[in-house]
Amino acid sequence: MEKHPHYEKIEKAIRYICENYQEQPSLSFLAHLVDMTPHHFQKTFSMWSGVSPKKFCQYITLNQAKEKLESGRKSLLQTTYDIGLSSPSRLHDLFLSAEGMTPGQFKDKGEGLLINYSLQESPFGKIVVASTDIGICSLFFASESEALPYLRKQFPKALLKKREVDLHGEAVQIFDKDWIKEEKLKLHLQGTPFQLKVWECLLKIPMGAFVSYGDIAEKLGNKNASRAVGSAVGKNPIGYLIPCHRVIQKNGNIGGFLWGVEKKREILAWEFSKLDEEQ
């Protein structure tokens, strides 16, 4: 995706809002923070996110999460499936399909696999996208210097090559407003059978919806497996495409996130703004 000319400034403003949303920072303050005039900042921010800085700040509050969770129609996983199939939002289950690695590949920690990876841009900072000849096997928020060590930890015996392939560009198209694709984007997942089931459940959560760990456990037929579900969610190897950021605690609290709670708030706020724009 093409980098916005004021990408770093908008990213800095978003990070500040995420960390200080309770203060409801003013337009003039945020503009001064990134060395822009209020008018220019308002225009640039709105072009990037689809909403004003003030509205974005409102989205970031935990009350938004609680209201969504407590609204009834968003509280159960099955309900979100039903809503998702008729929602105008881009839905993960409509364009993503998942295939697990063979037992041998899983046991041998990727031995014999060629994995290409590249650094890409997202609305939330730099991401690393990695793929096998079958599909996307890893996506995470990181700098270039962090990419190889992270992938080596995931796939200690695979052949890792820094090379951008078409699949990487297709993966980040999900962030574009006009994303339309007829073919499914394939994911190549390395995980236990239980983890694969949890990740497949996550693929069904549409933008703007929330589920709890308990909802997923119940969907899998074991309502007492919330802790195991939480562990599987925390080991999700493909950030954003498998939307683990849409899983929150039953009481409405935002819950944890591998890349930090503020990053999770930032992503959810961006999604809320896009959903409003579509509707």
Count of domains observed in the chain? 2
Pick from 60, 76, 91: which residue ends a domain?
A: 60
Question: Do residue 101 and residue 37 come from a single domain?
Answer: no
pLDDT given for residue 84 in this prediction: 36
Q: For residue 230, what is the domain's CATH number?
A: 1.10.10.10
Q: What is the residue-averaged pLDDT of the chain?
A: 77
DSSP secondary structure string, 65-124? HHHHHHTSTTTSHHHHHHHHHH-SS--HHHHEEEEEPPHHHHHTTTTT-EEEEEEEEETT
Question: Do residue 18 and residue 114 come from a single domain?
Answer: no
pLDDT given for residue 106 in this prediction: 62
Tell me if 121 is assigned to some domain: yes
Greater confidence, 177 or 82? 177
Q: For residue 43, what is the domain's CATH number?
A: 1.10.10
Q: What is the pLDDT of residues 175-209, one digit of tens each?
A: 765 444 445 678 888 888 899 889 988 888 877 77
Question: Do residue 150 and residue 270 come from a single domain?
Answer: yes
Tell me if 89 is assigned to some domain: yes
Active site residues: 244
Task: Please report which residue ranges of the chain form alpha helices under DSSP H.
Answer: 7-20, 27-33, 38-49, 53-59, 62-70, 77-86, 92-95, 103-107, 144-154, 166-172, 193-202, 213-219, 226-234, 261-278
Residues β-bridged to residue 248 = 212
Tell me if 2 is assigned to some domain: no
- 5: pLDDT strictly greater than 70: no
Quote the domain boundaries for residue 41.
7-60
Question: Do residue 55 and residue 186 come from a single domain?
Answer: no
Question: Do residue 153 and residue 263 come from a single domain?
Answer: yes
Tell me if 26 is assigned to some domain: yes
Q: What is the pLDDT of residues 143-155, one digit of tens each?
A: 889 999 999 998 9
Question: Do residue 257 and residue 140 come from a single domain?
Answer: yes
Distance CA 157, CA 101 (A): 14
Question: Do residue 53 and residue 158 come from a single domain?
Answer: no
Question: Do residue 52 and residue 72 come from a single domain?
Answer: no
Greater confidence, 79 or 51? 51
Question: Do residue 232 and residue 267 come from a single domain?
Answer: yes
Question: Do residue 128 and residue 264 come from a single domain?
Answer: yes
Tell me if 1 is assigned to some domain: no
Tell me if 210 is assigned to some domain: yes
Question: Do residue 56 and residue 153 come from a single domain?
Answer: no
pTM of the model as a whole: 0.68
Q: Average pLDDT for residues 230-253, to the nearest whole number?
A: 88
Tell me if 211 is assigned to some domain: yes
Question: Do residue 38 and residue 108 come from a single domain?
Answer: no
